[in-house]
Amino acid sequence: MGIDREAGERPAIVLVRPQLGENIGKAARAMLNFGLTDMRLVAPRDGWPNPAAGPAASGADSVLEQARVFESTADAVADCAHVYATTVRKRGVTKPVLTPEAAAREVPRQAGRSAFLFGPERSGLETEDVALARTIVTAPINPEFGSLNLAQAVILVAYELSKGADLSVPTAENLLPPAPQAELDGLVDHLARMLEPRGYFLPESRAASTRRTLRSVLTKPGWNHLEVRTLRGVLSTLEREPRSE
């Protein structure tokens, strides 16, 4: 299949001879999570499209729909100026070795498209595949258990690549600002009124220090106004007489 040379310059993820449709789908999901959409498949074992890929992609259908199939690894990276082979073994090929983080920092500084090669689930990249790459990418990993599945390997690289992209942090915009000081003062005073008749601030010689400590405890977390209202509701409930059964 031919290559569209007008496609975006975000790195391509090349799955070389992938075996299971589920793993292709999970890899697509990992890619889209971190803003990557250029998936290339080299001789997938069970052909393409694969009905098992869609459910595993969990909504990353656009990546699967745009995925392109190639007969050889060389064809898949023909338009790429920088090819990285992900492997825990050098397989007798002498090339520069980078961590995913270092490779991701390098990519935006280079002219031309980059591609990351991932080998089949059972055996990884063959020597001929690695020979096409200019650089080997290897993650620091437990030497006694170096088994990453395909999707895990893709997400490891995709995450590092995302650090240089303009991606949002989903929860950041949902955080409410801290409550105004007046609301915090109301919470502190409310609790103090409840504690006073129960002797919490005795002895008198330590009352001022105890009040300061209580205020420090209640203001330290940076409650937002909804949290303060919730705590005030808790205190108001405790103030009421218990319900009779």
- Omega before residue 100 within 30° of 0, cis: no
Last residue of a domain, one of 134, 162, 190: 162
Question: Residue-wise pLDDT tens for the chain (245 aa)?
Answer: 444 433 447 899 999 999 999 999 999 999 999 999 999 999 999 999 999 999 999 999 999 999 999 999 999 999 999 999 998 765 566 789 999 999 999 998 888 999 999 999 888 899 999 999 999 999 888 878 877 889 999 999 999 999 877 665 555 456 678 888 898 889 999 999 999 888 888 888 988 998 888 888 888 777 888 888 888 888 888 888 776 65
Residue 100 confidence (pLDDT) = 94
* Residues 32, 82 within the same domain: yes
pLDDT at residue 146 in the model? 72
> What's the token pair of residue 89?
């073994």
Domain coverage including residue 68? 12-162
Domain boundary among 162, 186, 205: 162
**Residue that terminates a domain, selected from 162, 183, 207:** 162
Q: Is 202 among the domain residues?
A: yes
Long-range Cβ contact pairs of 238-245 (< 8 A, separation 24 or more)? 238/194, 239/194
CA separation for the pair 42, 87 (Å, rounded): 17
217 located within any domain: yes
Considering its fold, how many domains does the chain have in total? 2
User: Strands 68-70, 82-86: parallel, antiparallel or unpaired by DSSP?
Assistant: unpaired
